[in-house]
Amino acid sequence: MIADVPGRDPFAPLRDAASAAARNLGFANDLQKLAPEHWQRVLAAVEIRMRMRGIALPEGWREEFAAQMGRPGAHTVNGPKS
């Protein structure tokens, strides 16, 4: 589970990183409508960005983040897990 910090949205840094990654990869900024393979590239970029910031993401973060972004289901299980 993404860490809960009172008064803060725990997904805000992930959303910011995902939006920046999608933009930098040349994808549309509407993360809900990305093709599954593009979504996987965005998730990989988010993981790298968080790691560079010294933030360790918990097991299952991809599924939890995808559900929070309105992308539950098969689109979240492809690719390497963190």
Q: How far is CA 81 from CA 60, 72, 76, in A?
A: 8, 16, 10
- pLDDT tens digits for range 6-49: 567 878 899 999 999 999 999 977 888 899 999 999 999 999 99
User: How far apart are alpha carbons 23 and 59 in whole angstroms?
Assistant: 26
Are 69 and 37 in contact by the 8 Å Cβ rule? The answer is no
Q: pTM, whole model, 2 decimals?
A: 0.77
